[in-house]
Chain A
Amino acid sequence: MIRRKLVAAALFFTLFGAIAFMPPFALLFRTNTRVLGVPLEAAYIFVVWILLILGARWFSRVLPDDNAAPADAQQDRSS
């Protein structure tokens, strides 16, 4: 994937995360169902949370090196 698409993907990933956590989407899981005794909505939130963390981990590795930025930082640090 080219850099621009990766950045766009990261943006939509974040936005989808936000939407997933919010009504009305979250209301879909507000049913009186339990998974191992845990209410579905709680389980849902934590599962999405875990998925987001895994996704973020992937993005943190593939997002382009903002090459100018670390270079600058190094320079600043050395000065």
Chain B
Amino acid sequence: MTLTADLVIATSVAYVGLLFLVAFLADRHTRRRAGGFLRSPFVYTLSISVYCTSWTFYGAVGSAARTGLEFVTIYLGPTLVFIGWWFILRRLVHISHSQRITSIADLLSSRFGKSGVLGVLVTLLAVIAIAPYIALQLKAVTSSIEAIAGASEFGRGSLEGWDEGGLAFGVAAGMAAFTILFGTRNVDANEQHHGVVAAIALEAVVKLTALIAVGVFVIYAGGALEGVFTGAAAAGIDIYDTDTFGDRWIASMLLAAAAIICLPRQFQVTVVENSDESHLRTASWAFPAYMLAMSLFILPIALYGLTIMPAGSNPDMFTLTLPLAAGQGGLALFAFIGGFSSATSMIILESIALSIMVSNHIVVPLMLRFGAEGHVGSDHGVRRLLLRARRVSIVLILFLGFGYFYLTRSSDALAPIGLISFTGVAQFLPAILAALFWRDASAKAAIAAISTGFLVWLWASFLPSFATSSPSVAAIMAEGPHGISWLRPQALFGLDMLDPLAHGVFWSLFANTTVLILGSLVTRQSALEHVQAALFIDMSGRSPSEPGSLHGSATTDDLLLVARRVLGQQRAFDLFSEEARQTGTAWTSLEPTPAFINRLERELAGSIGAASAHIMLSKVVSGGEVSLEEVMRMADETQQVIEHSQALERTSAQLRATAEKLEAANLQLREVDRQKDEFLSQVSHEVRTPMTAIRAFSEILLSERDLDESSVRSFVDTIHKESLRLTSLLDEILDVSALEKGDRVWEANLFDPERSLDQALRVCDALALHNGTTLQVTQRVDSAHVSGDADRLSQVLINLISNAIKYNNAPSPTVWIRSFIDGPHYCVEISDNGAGIPEAEQPRIFDKFYRGQRGRAAAYAGAGLGLPISREILARMRGTLELVPGAAEGACFCMRLPLEMDARATG
């Protein structure tokens, strides 16, 4: 079998097609909720083995060939992390599940007070740090195609004329297309991609089988294990040549341990794609076993390759070139597919993980800041925007990788490139450990620490990788910037006895950790940070208390709108139905309780990240951020209790106030009731009195037959008089109640009050004559204009004048009447020369039913309603009625009405 580039490319495409089919079937499988083997802990373990990339497949062999046993450190670090799963990974998975964490940026952002800045920082740095790693995969795939193409004369086939850069570009473009097709078909709840995970698991099997196949071939060809090793020793190749257990050993083991936690794709498969926390138990030993199996044949392959391959051949490609050299075309193709598998799985997952971070921590916050409402409410919704953002970021990430590959293409070893990435992402480790274990770590310190570590990394690890392609970088490395020797990237502060890798790791992590610790000691946490820190660290405190929750004025409809935009119609509907079912309420009467909003926030966080979800819901719910008080209330149970009792106190104070108000109202009611009783009792008395006289005299007239004519006449006269009194009393009562209720329509006409006075005088003349009283009009106004009811005014004047006549018992009774203008008022004064009103009675004369002393004695006693009615009428006309005090003799009443100015001017 002769391998050509065309054949391997065709095989690759077919293989990708197979992967796609697997992913498609797996997605459909899980959508039917069958789950099954796809959710088994072994599929989970296999997906974690995306850790073993083409760096392992090709690079580890190269590394073993160059530096002996050191390559195993890359697997020993993760092994230690996994066998110690109980201490870090378990917490990480649990926290991420309960908080719906979507990525490592989300984890840090969430723990440090849902800090948007931290999310952006981690995302940007991850994208930069991963670029070399992507480049490594591109380089490996490119090199493997080149290796096959170079193996035979016609091998290049259609690749004729393509150089290495062009080929790598083609690979990158193909990978981008592939990843977009794979990973961004939908924005999944929780960012779980069952189809992708299934494909990754398949690839894990393929690459392991391929590597073992090559290993078995080598053992077979080399004459068993002993043969391989002794053969190598005989050829003068010995791993004792290198200082195995030195600073590099420790540094790379530490880096690998950090990477298995911090690499975005590892976080994605281990934490985010985890569907059952107990799967971690199996993975704790199965994943180390997988790595052991991968590593087992690395050393023999490297040694055998070194032994039999010509000097100068690329040891990174031994896995492929050894079968080729032996004429094993089929095995070589299988090995190629194995290497391709390891590269594609890494690229797919890494770019999916990074694109989630980019869209959730950079695109969505920007969207929320600029025209959030428009997008939240737009028809296409957030989902479409998210998908687009993810596709764009996948392309961006791959071409950043390609850029790095292009700039550093003259360096040929794979493993150092990977270690640069590892050192970069390891800068997240201190913050993650602090997130899990140190309550007082603050966001400011974390931001400063990661930035510092990253700057050191850029200088001491990233920059030196360009030394081979850039003379100016090489100059800086040799002499330091501007000749400052203590700033030389690989000998900072003159520390030049360390291996460059160990040097970079030491300085970056040392600076990072120091800044984190010191920074946290001197800065203060915000309230939200405090809450989140407590939540992350206190894993046992799984009380239903919901921290940092929002509540406010949002309606369920608002929430549903947001949920639908982000989660999609079906998922939002499911979520709300579930909530309705749990709370036992109808869909329509679903209440946006804090618990529900909290849950919704977690669900949204599963799609767009904690910080974005928080901001989004904050906007919807309260139109702003949560208040400090609110957060603190949620934070601290003690605080909660205090608040609770304060609320109780407030409530009881309100109750007390209400009770007092009620009591006051009650008192008022009782007073009104008493007044009403009093009034009725008065009315009863006033009616019964004339009725008594009428009845008594009628009975006398009926029963006594022998009455003389004058007595009869007198009695009938009294009966008549009393019945008149009764009638006028009833009129007055009706009047007073109508006046008090105010239901009578008042005519407010302009009229001349002098005419009313004329009328009153005419009516009272007869009474005065009858009583022998002299009426003297001492002063009159020609004419005036007031507003009101002329007849009513007559009524008032008649009442006043007749009172003066009736109650005047002077020997020669006289009543004086005068009208005059006093400033803006028209006034009428009525005085008499009677006994006057005793001072003690004066305050009460306007009370209803009050009759003065002289009233009782008079023959024409009214019900005592005349004065109150008169006063009420005048009040309606904005006038007053007063008893003028200090009159020498008799009583003097004065009424005033406001003059209508306009009328006076014209009239």
A contact set with B: CB distance below 8 Å = 7, 10-11, 13-14, 17-18, 21-23, 26-27, 30, 32, 34, 36-39, 41-42, 45-46, 49-50, 52-57, 59-61, 63, 66, 68-70, 72-73, 76-77, 79
Contacts and interface: CB of A to CB of B under 8 A. Distances in A.
Contacts of B539: 69
A46 B79 CA distance: 12
B455 interface: no
A21 B249 CA distance: 9
Contact of B69 (A32, A45, A60, A61): A45
B296 A46 contact: yes
List of 10 A-B pairs having minimum Cβ-Cβ separation, nearest first? A37-B226, A14-B84, A37-B229, A56-B285, A56-B83, A57-B285, A23-B245, A60-B281, A73-B277, A26-B245
Main secondary structure of the interface of B (DSSP, over half): helix
A45 B76 CA distance: 9
B245 A39 contact: no
A14 B87 CA distance: 10
B253 interface: yes
Contacts of A13: 83-84
Main secondary structure of the interface of A (DSSP, over half): helix
Interface in B88-104: 90, 94, 97-98, 100
Interface in B228-266: 228-230, 233, 239-240, 244-246, 249-250, 253
Contact of B285 (A45, A60, A76, A77): A60
B578 interface: yes
A68 B244 CA distance: 44
Interface string B197-235: 000000000000000000000000000011111100100
B60 to A, nearest CB: 14
Contact of A73 (B233, B276, B288, B540): B276
A42 B292 CA distance: 12
Contacts of A69: 90, 94, 277, 539
Nearest to B73: A21
A79 B578 contact: yes
A36 B226 contact: yes
Given A11-B84, A70-B277, 12 more contacts: A11-B86, A14-B83, A17-B80, A21-B253, A23-B250, A30-B245, A37-B226, A52-B79, A59-B284, A66-B94, A72-B94, A73-B97
B551 interface: no
18 contacts: A10-B86, A17-B83, A21-B76, A21-B80, A23-B249, A23-B250, A37-B225, A37-B227, A37-B230, A37-B233, A38-B225, A49-B288, A53-B288, A56-B285, A60-B282, A66-B277, A72-B97, A76-B98
Contacts of B295: 46
A38 B73 CA distance: 18
Q: How large is the interface on B (under 10, 10 to 19, 20 to 34, 35 or more residues)?
A: 35 or more
A63 B281 contact: yes
Contacts of A14: 80, 83-84, 87
Nearest to B245: A23
Nearest to B274: A73
Contact of B90 (A42, A66, A76): A66
Contacts of A56: 82-83, 284-285, 288
A2 to B, nearest CB: 15
B474 interface: no
B225 A36 contact: yes
Contacts of B227: 37
